[in-house]
Amino acid sequence: MAENYERNMILGNGKKYNVIGTRPIRHDGADKVTGRAKYGADFTASGVLHGKVLRSPHAHAIIKSIDTSAAEALAGVKAVITSNDLEPVESGTIVDLGESTVDLKYMRSNILARDKVVYKGHAIAAVAAQSTHEAEDALDLIKVTYDILPPLITAPDSMKDGATIIHEDLRMSEGGKEVEKNTNISNHVLHEIGDIEKGFAQADLVIEREFNTATVHQGYIEPHPVTALWNNDDRLTIWTSTQGAFTVRAALSACLGKPESDIKVVPMEIGGGFGGKIPIYLEPLAALLSKKTGHHVKMVMTRSEVFECTGPTPGSYIKIKMGATKTGKITAAHAFLAYEAGGFPGGMIEAGCKCVFAPYNIPNVVVEGYDVVVNKPKTAAYRAPGSTNAAFASEAVSNEIADELDIDPIEFRLINSAAEGTRRADGPRAMKNHPHYNTPIESPNQGRGIAVGYWFNAGLESSAAISVNRNGTVNLVEGSTDIGGSRTSLSMQAAEVLGIAAEDINPSVGDTDSIGYTAVTGGSRVTFATGFAVYRAAQDVKRQAIERASIIWDVDSSSLSMDNGIIRSNNQPKLSMSFKDMALQMNDTGGPIMGRGSFDGKGEGGSFAGNLVDVELDPETGKTTILRFTVFQDAGKAIHPSYVEGQMQGGSAQGIGWGLNEEYFMDPSGRMANSTFLDYRIPTSLDLPLIDTVIVEVPNPNHPLGVRGVGEANIVPPPAALADAIYNAAGIRLRDLPMNPIAIMNATWENGK
């Protein structure tokens, strides 16, 4: 199983690099493994106060009254806040957060409930005290009177005629226009290509199936932390673990009515995010408590708060109808997707609609999507948000069609592969030629599954600055939170341009006062977009280095060039100088050298991933054991292959958990019954095989080094591949997630097996 096949990066752009494609030790590695790295909860300050949040015990209720007087009188308590400390605002004020937009009213209402609560755990009040214990005691003294309403837990229930209306002011957007009718549907998306009826009429086989996926959480290990200081000069400083310091600044500015220039956000090290640490939750509360007390206020969520009060990925109901000819050509496809937005509008429906049929070239398509408000926490991004749900459904139907037509499932995908030239067929070909696919399955109760998935990636804005030291090393400051080793992948791009070692780059992530605007670490954008900014900053340094050499040699700079860290004269072969030698003379030729680069991201290019998975089912218990798992992914150009492989393996592990175990187990009252890692089952090393990786390299023509983002497409295909493997092992087709032992045994009994 451990062939070196996965180390061979398929295709590639043929260019020779000195740094790109190597595997240097990550710059932050030593601090991480020795415990010196400072995460959000590690921040402290003299006189710091501790904050805690009172949260609703009900999933849906009107708030009749809040009495905080007893809490405010408790010894050790320094401040109590409620929604009265935030200015009320009408819906319709839209805040641009870079990657997304949000209605200010709904954002503030999610921070602190005003008139009603819309999920269990909804924040109602917050307390700052001298200790966490005193703050917790104070919460018990706050009296809240509720008028309890029936909760709506799933999108289909919330869409029904006569369903309880969660937000009286919510109107559905349809085609960019607001519909007058009050509803729980916030957005209706419709995409159409060709003639769907004609396409189905041309098909020899038409299959229609329904699917349900449970709500799941990103499962990051570090709970949400924040410390705030609203200083006496009226400037606010926030220390937090976030995927986007500038996004936090923009959200805080809108939420607090404070200019962005008066807010400084310091991103600490981050213990995982996967999209879930883009929104703000505690930051405005800590800020307001600090304003009232004049002290630093520190807040850290418990694990149950993370599960019950922060944004999971949406549960969904999906219906897929596909038609194909006897030769395997898909003629038409229709998708109906209803995604849970959680307690407030703005889920992942648009991304799901973009991705549902993206791997395929289908002439006649209709995609309908609905963003549906339910009584659960407001959803947030989770690694290719919306795409995993969609691929589970569309890939399952694709596999069923291939099976019915007796066509090899990879050949079926090659027949229908979406085209960007011929690029998108490369992954399926790599899968078909891999030893994993050509190793027979010979034991009973074993099966092999395949699936492919797509994520469109993001560009957006990034900034970087490089300063040169006299010994020829350089300092790199960039604005992207480092979640998966991006400081090193960015350093490698700078090192390649300057012709120095990656170890000669000293990278750091700047705060919002120290670097230009940079969008979130999300959308698989950092190595592409911030890498582009770094590349431009390094080119700026390279240009200045050549100019300094021209001063030293008293020649025209246009006659010089710099390659592999050596500056040479194109006319006088004896004139050559290393970048490091130039740096020694920097101060004698004009002073410090600083390079700047920025990028307004376009041309990011999509990424495809595919899975081959072998499983064995225990017929007595329904337990699924994964025997072998191989993930294929187009990386464009793998800057640091080990990090690319790590992303592929990490996303696959999360997709496996999504497929087999993970779910929000909700009781009828809207309470999550498994809000701890003891009961919410993410995969451990005991659940996973060694995950083999195959990097497919088809360079992105829109990046100077060919980069495509690789952080997200890998989570998309695992549930669908597992479902296919389970079918081939036991003859049962599962259409609901998770596919846990209970689901497998129920399906087995229903099929009389």
For the segment 562-602, what is each residue's pLDDT rounded down to a tens digit?
A: 999 999 999 999 999 999 999 999 999 999 999 999 999 88
Beta bridge partners, 695, equal 633
Mean pLDDT by 10 residues, the chain (753 residues): 40 80 95 96 97 98 98 98 94 87 95 97 98 98 98 98 95 84 94 98 98 98 98 98 98 97 98 97 98 98 98 98 98 98 96 96 98 98 97 98 98 86 62 96 95 96 98 98 95 98 98 98 96 98 98 97 97 96 96 97 92 97 97 97 97 98 97 97 95 96 96 98 98 98 95 73
The owner of tokens 């929604």 is 83
The owner of tokens 């708060």 is 305
What is the reported pLDDT for 13? 62
Give the count of beta carbons closer than 10 Å to the beta carbon of residue 108. Answer: 22
What is the reported pLDDT for 100? 86
- The DSSP code sequence of 142-169 is -EEEEEE-----SHHHHHSTTPPPS-TT
In sequence order, what are the residues at sequence separation of 6 or more whose Cβ sits closer than 8 angstroms to the Cβ of residue 380? 218, 275, 276, 278, 279, 310, 311, 312, 313
Cα torsion at 187, 188, 189, 194 (round to 10°)? -170
What is the reported pLDDT for 450? 98
What is the reported pLDDT for 3? 40
Beta bridge partners, 475, equal 467, 506
Beta bridge partners, 630, equal 612, 692
What is the reported pLDDT for 427? 75
What is the reported pLDDT for 7? 38
The 8-class DSSP code of residue 461 comes to: E
What is the reported pLDDT for 73? 98
Q: Which of 302, 354, 445, 344 is nearest to 101 (CA)?
A: 344
Give the count of beta carbons closer than 10 Å to the beta carbon of residue 542. Answer: 23
| Full set of structural domains in the chain with CATH | 1-9+408-457+605-753 (3.30.365.10), 460-601 (3.30.365.10)
Q: What is the maximum alpha-carbon separation in the chain? A: 88
Instruction: Let me know: does 106 contact 113? Beta carbons within 8 Å.
Output: no
Q: Which of 43, 64, 68, 44 is nearest to 54 (CA)?
A: 68
